Amino acid sequence: MVSKSKRAAALVLTAVLAAASLAGCGGTTTVTSGGTQTSGGTTSSASTESNAGSGAGDAVDIDSEETIKTIKDAMAKEAEATGGKISMKLWCSGDDLKFEKKLIEEFKEKYKDDRFEIKIQASGAIGEDAAGGKIVESPQDGADVFNFADDQLSTLVEAKAIAKVANLFQNNVVKNNSEDAVTVCKINDTAYAFPKTSDNGYFMYYDKRVFKDEKSVENMDDMIKTANEAGKSVYLNLSNGWYNTGFFFTAGCTVEYKDGVQTADYANEKGLAAAKAMCHLAENIDKGFVGTAGSAGDNAAVQQGFANNQYAAAIIGTWMGPAIKKSIGEENVGAAKLPTVLMDGEQKQLHSFGGYKVVGVNAFTKYPTTAQTLAYFLTTGESQLKRYACRGLIPTNNEALQTKETVKNILDDTDVQVDIQSDPALKAIDAQRQYAHPQGSSVGGKYWASNIGGFGSEIVTAKGKISDADLEKKLKDLVDQMKG
Amino acid sequence: MTQSQSSKEMATGYAARTKAFNILVYVILAVMVIVWIFPIVWLILQSLRGEEGISTPYFFPHEITFKNYVRLFTDERFPFLRWFFNTLFVAVLSCVISTLFILMVSYAFSRLRFKSRKTFLNFGLILGMFPGFMSMAATYSIMEIFGLKQQLIALVIVYSAGAGLGYQVAKGFFDTIPRSLDEAAKIDGATRNQIFWQIILPLSKPIIVYTALTTFIGPWADYIFVSYFMKDNSDNWTVALGLYQMLGNQTMSEYFTVFCAGAVVIAIPITVLFVIMQRFYVEGVTGGAVKG
Amino acid sequence: MDYLDYVQMTKGQKFAYKLKSFFAAIPKVIVKLFMYIGYFFKKLFTIIGTGLKGYGYRFAKGDIGTKLSFIIMGAGNMMHRQIAKGLIFLATEVAYIWFMISFGSVQISKIFSMNVDVFRDGSTIVSGALGSEPPLKQENMLGVEEIVNLDTLDNSNKILLFFVMTVLISIAFFAIYIANTKSAFATQQQLKEGVKPASFLAEMKDFLDEKFHVTLLTLPVLLLMLFTVLPIIFTIFMAFTNYDKEHQPPGSLYWWVGFDNFADVFYANPMKSETFGKILVWTLVWAVFATFTNYIFGIILALMINKKGIKFKGFWRTMFVITAAVPQFVTLLIMRLLLGDNTGLNAMWGTSIPFLSDATWARITVIVVNMWVGIPYTMLISSGLLMNIPADLYESARIDGANAFQQFTKITFPYIFFVTTPYLITTFVGNINNFNVIYFLTGGGPSPSNYYQAGQTDLLVTWLYKLTVNSSDFNLAAVIGIIVFVICAIGSLITFNNSKAAKNEEEFS
């Protein structure tokens, strides 16, 4: 679609879109009423089956002149209602604020038009961990476009506070990003978010001075012993549901979140085995194992632990990489998949949550097209690459992941040699991937609202000395709580 | 043993016992002061700490520096200075309005007799028993209707609109002023308006200072309402919310020492104010609260 | 029983007396509570009755002007030569009618929009939902999902709020309406008796003298109504809806569920009701300990500082005042770090004492830290009081040969206790509502698995806050708010009615 007359191009584009939407939901444009019971509940009319790679015509070239013009026309129409001004809010992590602001400038430049003026206010006040909750709380006060961690997606969809990914971008998003990343952005086969980075999971950072080779970081029990001999500890936050759920996955428990119902079969022998494995580790508290962040929170605990030479290894994610490197020196930092833990008398590979950071569009935005376009722009392969160069956050875009070239750091105009495949953190994430479980389909808001963290906390406080009967009772309570 | 001797011995024995007792009191006081001041000293030391992170395994920082204070006032991500002036603005305005309201209401209830006075008093008593922030979601919606969503003025309104309910202490104080003063003035032809401004208020310095002090300090320490009302609008945060945000999971290890610096900066003026005004505070509260 | 009788009792007698009177008070208070409720309704009906009687009487005996004012407000005043006042009444009526037509009636009609409710047991009935127009989604030509009715869609919150507002405005209007008929009739009587009705200026001037209370109270009461009473009523209504995580307007509307939420808290939902029971017990335990530890140790500290022969009184006092002056959220957050599992003291000592992470430890810690926070205040207040104790009491005690300790137990403490009873009530109620200490220090934790959205040091109010902010269970939060209110009301009623200060209020007047 390069050298056709503009009108023809617009026609073709519309036709393609119509075809895509026909292929998807087998009907005309869908009007769904997302309201009270009168509307007949949740009709799944929006279940647009994504058909990645099913035809070259599906993915539209977003950067073609014609598409840009069509988008601008839609933006101009939206701007009319507010006097030619598009005024939006973006929420991102405070750490990323500077970078996102740069990208916003590029976005404004790309979609500049005489008919409207774009104003986007970026704020780092509501971070990725809190954004979903705040949007649900009062969608009309929330940002038009927001960055969030994928575990909040189900809550957002349930509250009908997030818009589905526009048909225009959907096939591009599906085709260009890794399969896993796309899966977590979907609920009931509808894509609601734009994958941005693949670092919302955890693995293990360790001190190479204590753990000399890769073999020494394979087994949790050995690691604790080695660390203790060196006068240090291994950190795994059992008091946090995000980390301790890995034990239940390891034991083979199934956790599912569907249609607003949270199920987790923890109240059985498998759940008990997981709990006892946690107890087994907690017995080593003060003897080479740290199982809680205390009142400080994960990041602060890990930072302090390495800075004060107390930790030899920690189970945490990429975001703590820079701080750990600063504390013990880059050359001493190793990254690996999670170790094995003793469960039911045998060593089993510890499972984890593998998550993504994604971008969503507020369903109640006054400028849906602009917001969708911005969300797409912030998550293209190019933007993801820039993000990696500036912030070290690992992309989800297939092409970006394979890139080996020099990229400009747009924050300080330096050149960065990018070779993501050789990033030790990425290697660790990749190694852990087959044991990592996506969050969107397995856990919903009720899971986090339950006392899953408190459960681990109790084990830690009791230093693992809890009777089986007590554990069973607690597990039963936990499961009841998740049901609501 | 003569009479005088024994009484003398008794006296010296008594004096010795008193002295011993006093020393014991000194020791207890000293220990208590150390316990009470310890966290404050720790706070100040942390604010001067050069090492990063949330805590050190030793009491005295190895590196003493003022860079946390410099960072406090220059940091882009946490614009403390802006929050400081926001808080000052809200505190001054709500202090003026609240003090006026409290004095007006308590004067009316204390010195004036009117038909529905008892009803109003009971009404106030009942309202005061609802948890303060129980209805903040609704208050937020009301602010939205008035177009004051996430505005500083909304905070002023929240802090001062309900101020009238805090009449008890000031009313108790007014109750203690002899009524004969009013009677005399009335005979001289003064209206109740004039009595309020020209006779009662000049006699009420302690309670005015007390009321002003408590209403001024309120906004500096309030976290609940600001956090709910300002949400993401970080331009309009106050120091309490701003500083609390520094201790978020993402930023705590980097900003903890800066937080301590900020805490010291806002604690100094309030502490000085409080220490200077403590006489009025005591007079106000003992004259009012206790006598109900 | 007299104060002096009480002082003369022996220790054992005093204790027995206190115990007796405490338990004796409970049934009395409950009876009293019902008496109050009965009394309230009796009074209400009397007021309505006399009101109706007066209303009818005024209409029957009124002249044309007065009769007209029953329909056209201000007509009576205008015809009785009070033009300005009459116009004000008229303007009020016009404004009210305009308000109801353009706005109020819509809000009232929306509050009971028809909707199908599915109840817990699966039965369905047609009843009221708050609003009938949910967001309508549509895709534009780019396949972008838009909400087409963004400007007109219903928001249950706004509907409920506007409804309460309309009702309050209507009540206020009704009061003005009655005042209008009264005023019309009064001026009619005055004219009949040959008295010239007061001029507008004279009536205005009266607001600075005879009616000065109106001038003083109008603005504070008006703002109180708008920003305190209105939200409270709104929140009470919320307790009867299903406004929770799954019903967040405007995305999805909420509707009336009757007493379901109360049932949940008290028995229907085992998780919630157990959590409530445990938190309630802890709240009361906490309030008792927090109040009395501060109170007793504060007085002892004040006695030590003010003891004869102790030097540098100002210094000692200032040292403690400093800690009271530093904003609480600062000191408490610092304490949190100081007492953390692997920070502060634990880091310095190389230990891992679970100050805040073990339930028993955490409960003791919050009470101790609360002493740290509160004792300076009590010290300041009781310092002031100590100076007010009549010197002759000590004089006579000394003549009777009482030693210092006896003087304290026989005079100082009873006196202070006697004078500060109202203060104690306020502190007790304040401690039930003590948000800061718990929230900043432990955040309510540690949280065991069998608590719903709460931890073992959570008070009812911090639970309320968490329900509002963390889990968006607004309906449950409203129920808890109402319960806290009831507890505070009963607590205050018990003590307030028995305290001398309440009975003596009129003595000063």
Where residue B212 sits, what CATH number does that domain have?
Answer: 1.10.3720.10
For an interface test with B, the pick among A146, A308, A324 (most B C-beta atoms closer than 10 Å) comes out as A308
- Say which DSSP state A150 is in: G
Domain parsing of chain C, residue ranges: 3-49, 62-258, 268-508
Residue B167 to residue A195: CA distance in whole angstroms: 56
pLDDT in tens, C402-416: 777 787 777 877 777
pLDDT of res. C120: 45
Residue C404 to residue C398: CA distance in whole angstroms: 9
pLDDT of res. A210: 93
- Say which DSSP state A64 is in: S
- Say which DSSP state C122 is in: S
Is the per-residue pLDDT at A19 higher than 50?
Answer: no
pLDDT in tens, A178-201: 888 898 898 888 999 999 998 888
Host domain of residue B151: 76-288
Tell me: do A388 and A415 sit in the same domain. yes
CA distance to A216, B103, B284, C184, C241, per residue, from B115 (Å): 85, 20, 29, 20, 38
Query: Is residue A435 situated within a structural domain?
Result: no
Q: What is the mean pLDDT of residues C481-499?
A: 77
Kindly determine whether residue C336 and residue A363, on different chains, have CB atoms separated by under 8 Å.
Answer: no
pLDDT of res. A376: 95
CB C212 within 8 A of CB B191: yes
The count of other CB atoms within 10 Å of the CB of residue A477 is 22
CB A176 within 8 A of CB A397: yes
Phi, psi torsion values for C256, nearest 5 degrees: -75, 140
Task: Say which range, B60-69, C114-123, C191-200, C287-296, has the weakest mean pLDDT.
Answer: C114-123
Identify the band that residue C461 occupies on the pLDDT scale cut at 50, 70 and 90.
very high
CB A191 within 8 A of CB A173: yes
Q: Kind and range of the H or E element at C377?
A: helix C359-386
Phi, psi torsion values for C21, nearest 5 degrees: -70, -30
Q: What is the mean pLDDT of residues B34-41?
A: 94
Residue B241 to residue B239: CA distance in whole angstroms: 6
pLDDT of res. C3: 59
pLDDT of res. C367: 95
Identify the band that residue A29 occupies on the pLDDT scale cut at 50, 70 and 90.
very low
Of the candidates B57, B80, B56, the one whose C-alpha atom is nearest the C-alpha of residue B68 is B80
CB C153 within 8 A of CB A33: no
DSSP B185-252: HHHTT--HHHIIIIIIHHHTHHHHHHHHHHHHHHHHH--HHHHHHHTT-GGG--HHHHHHHHTSTTTH
Residue A371 to residue A360: CA distance in whole angstroms: 9
Of the candidates C279, C36, C428, C420, the one whose C-alpha atom is nearest the C-alpha of residue B129 is C428
Host domain of residue A237: 203-353+450-483
CA distance to A16, A61, A174, A408, C182, per residue, from A168 (Å): 9, 10, 12, 29, 70
Contact partners, residue C360, CB within 8 Å, separation at least 6: none
Q: Write out chain B residues lying below 8 Å of A88, CB-based.
A: none
Strands A357-361 and A145-149: antiparallel
Kindly determine whether residue A168 and residue C449, on different chains, have CB atoms separated by under 8 Å.
Answer: no
pLDDT in tens, A151-185: 888 888 888 889 999 999 999 999 999 888 898 89
> Which subunits sit against B, judged by 3+ Cβ pairs under 8 A?
A, C
Residue A147 to residue A128: CA distance in whole angstroms: 6
Q: For all residues of chain C together, what is the average pLDDT?
A: 83
Residue A238 to residue A458: CA distance in whole angstroms: 9
Residue C338 to residue C365: CA distance in whole angstroms: 12
Query: Is residue B101 situated within a structural domain?
Result: yes
Q: Write out chain A residues lying below 8 Å of B54, CB-based.
A: 296, 300, 303-304
Residue entry with tokens 């007509």: C75
pLDDT of res. C173: 94
Is pLDDT larger for residue A419 or for residue C21? A419
Kindly determine whether residue C224 and residue B127, on different chains, have CB atoms separated by under 8 Å.
Answer: yes
Minimal Cβ distance to B232: which of A123, A300, A303: A123
Identify the band that residue A54 occupies on the pLDDT scale cut at 50, 70 and 90.
very low
Q: Write out chain A residues lying below 8 Å of C470, CB-based.
A: 133, 449
Identify the band that residue A39 occupies on the pLDDT scale cut at 50, 70 and 90.
very low
pLDDT of res. A160: 83
Of the candidates C207, C367, C365, the one whose C-alpha atom is nearest the C-alpha of residue C287 is C367
pLDDT of res. B4: 54
Q: How far is CA B202 from the centre of its chain?
A: 23
| Number of residues written out for chain A | 484
Structural domains in chain B (count): 1
Q: How far is CA B63 from the centre of its chain?
A: 34
Kindly determine whether residue B247 and residue C333, on different chains, have CB atoms separated by under 8 Å.
Answer: yes
pLDDT in tens, B78-131: 999 999 999 999 999 999 999 999 999 999 998 888 888 888 888 888 888 888
ipTM: 0.87
3-state secondary structure C255-284: EECCCHHHHHHHHHCHHHHHHHHHHHHHHH
Tell me: do A393 and A282 sit in the same domain. no
Structure tokens at B1: 């043993």
Kindly determine whether residue C327 and residue B18, on different chains, have CB atoms separated by under 8 Å.
Answer: no
Q: Write out chain C residues lying below 8 Å of B163, CB-based.
A: 220
Residue C229 to residue C221: CA distance in whole angstroms: 10
Q: Kind and range of the H or E element at C127?
A: strand C124-129
Rounded to a whole number of angstroms, the distance from the CA of C363 to the nearest CA of chain B is: 20
Is the per-residue pLDDT at A37 higher than 70?
Answer: no
Q: How far is CA C129 from the centre of its chain?
A: 29
Residue C422 to residue C491: CA distance in whole angstroms: 12
CA distance to B179, B277, B287, C267, C296, per residue, from B284 (Å): 19, 11, 5, 46, 21
Structure tokens at C120: 């817990």
Q: Write out chain A residues lying below 8 Å of C138, CB-based.
A: 29-31
Query: Is residue B18 situated within a structural domain?
Result: no
Is the per-residue pLDDT at B251 higher than 80?
Answer: yes
CA distance to A48, A408, C372, per residue, from A23 (Å): 8, 40, 69
Q: For all residues of chain A together, what is the average pLDDT?
A: 83
Tell me: do A322 and A241 sit in the same domain. yes
Of the candidates A91, A128, A103, the one whose C-alpha atom is nearest the C-alpha of residue B234 is A91
Report yes or no: B185 at the C interface, CB cutoff 8 Å: no
Q: For all residues of chain B together, what is the average pLDDT?
A: 86
Residue entry with tokens 């740069």: A102
Q: How many CB pairs under 8 A join A and C?
A: 197
Report yes or no: C248 at the A interface, CB cutoff 8 Å: yes
| Number of residues written out for chain B | 292
Query: Is residue B284 situated within a structural domain?
Result: yes
Which of A125-134, A401-410, B80-89, C500-509 is the most confident on average? B80-89
Kindly determine whether residue A166 and residue C471, on different chains, have CB atoms separated by under 8 Å.
Answer: no
pLDDT of res. A469: 92
Q: What is the mean pLDDT of residues B165-192?
A: 86
The count of other CB atoms within 10 Å of the CB of residue A295 is 27
The one-letter amino acid at C275: T
Of the candidates C176, C183, C175, the one whose C-alpha atom is nearest the C-alpha of residue C58 is C183
Is the per-residue pLDDT at C150 higher than 70?
Answer: yes
Minimal Cβ distance to A296: which of B54, B150, B232: B54
Residue B226 to residue B161: CA distance in whole angstroms: 15
pLDDT of res. A249: 94
Kindly determine whether residue C208 and residue B270, on different chains, have CB atoms separated by under 8 Å.
Answer: no
Q: What is the mean pLDDT of residues C264-287?
A: 92
pLDDT of res. A48: 37
> Which subunits sit against C, judged by 3+ Cβ pairs under 8 A?
A, B
Q: Bridge partners of C117?
A: C125
CB C302 within 8 A of CB C387: no
pLDDT of res. C288: 93
Report yes or no: A308 at the B interface, CB cutoff 8 Å: yes
Q: Kind and range of the H or E element at B3?
A: helix B3-47
Q: Supply the CATH classification number for the domain C268-508.
A: 1.10.3720.10
ω before A195 within 30° of 0 (cis)?
no
CA angle A25, A31, A37 (to 5 degrees): 110
Residue C99 to residue C169: CA distance in whole angstroms: 10
Identify the band that residue A4 occupies on the pLDDT scale cut at 50, 70 and 90.
very low
Q: What is the mean pLDDT of residues A270-291?
A: 92
CA distance to B19, C320, C322, per residue, from B31 (Å): 18, 12, 16
Rounded to a whole number of angstroms, the distance from the CA of C255 to the nearest CA of chain A is: 9
Structural domains in chain A (count): 2
DSSP A193-244: EEEEES-SS-EEEEETTTS-SGGGGSBHHHHHHHHHHTT-EEE--TTSHHHH
Give me the residues of C, 453-472, that contact A with CB < 8 A: 453, 455, 470-472
Both ends of chain C: CA-CA distance in Å? 24
Tell me: do A329 and A225 sit in the same domain. yes
Phi, psi torsion values for B155, nearest 5 degrees: -65, -45
pTM of the predicted model as reported, rounded to 2 decimal places:
0.83
Residue A451 to residue C452: CA distance in whole angstroms: 8
Identify the band that residue C4 occupies on the pLDDT scale cut at 50, 70 and 90.
low
Tell me: do A346 and A364 sit in the same domain. no
pLDDT in tens, A304-350: 889 888 899 999 988 888 889 888 988 899 999 999 999 989 999 99
Residue C148 to residue B275: CA distance in whole angstroms: 60
Q: Write out chain C residues lying below 8 Å of B243, CB-based.
A: 329-330
Structure tokens at A110: 């790309």
Rounded to a whole number of angstroms, the distance from the CA of C296 to the nearest CA of chain B is: 15
Q: Write out chain B residues lying below 8 Å of C161, CB-based.
A: 138, 141-142, 145
pLDDT of res. C38: 84
Of the candidates C274, C229, C264, C228, the one whose C-alpha atom is nearest the C-alpha of residue C244 is C264
pLDDT in tens, A201-232: 899 999 999 999 888 999 999 999 999 999 99
pLDDT of res. A6: 43
Torsion from C-alpha of B233, B236, B240, B245, nearest 10 degrees: 30
Residue C291 to residue C286: CA distance in whole angstroms: 8
Kindly determine whether residue B142 and residue C465, on different chains, have CB atoms separated by under 8 Å.
Answer: no
Is the per-residue pLDDT at B292 higher than 80?
Answer: no
Domain stops at, among A382, A405, A422: A422
Report yes or no: A478 at the C interface, CB cutoff 8 Å: yes
pLDDT in tens, C411-435: 877 777 777 777 787 788 889 989 9
Residue C505 to residue C509: CA distance in whole angstroms: 8
Phi, psi torsion values for C133, nearest 5 degrees: -115, 95
Minimal Cβ distance to A36: which of C129, C146, C356: C129
Report yes or no: A28 at the C interface, CB cutoff 8 Å: no
Where residue A138 sits, what CATH number does that domain have?
Answer: 3.40.190.10
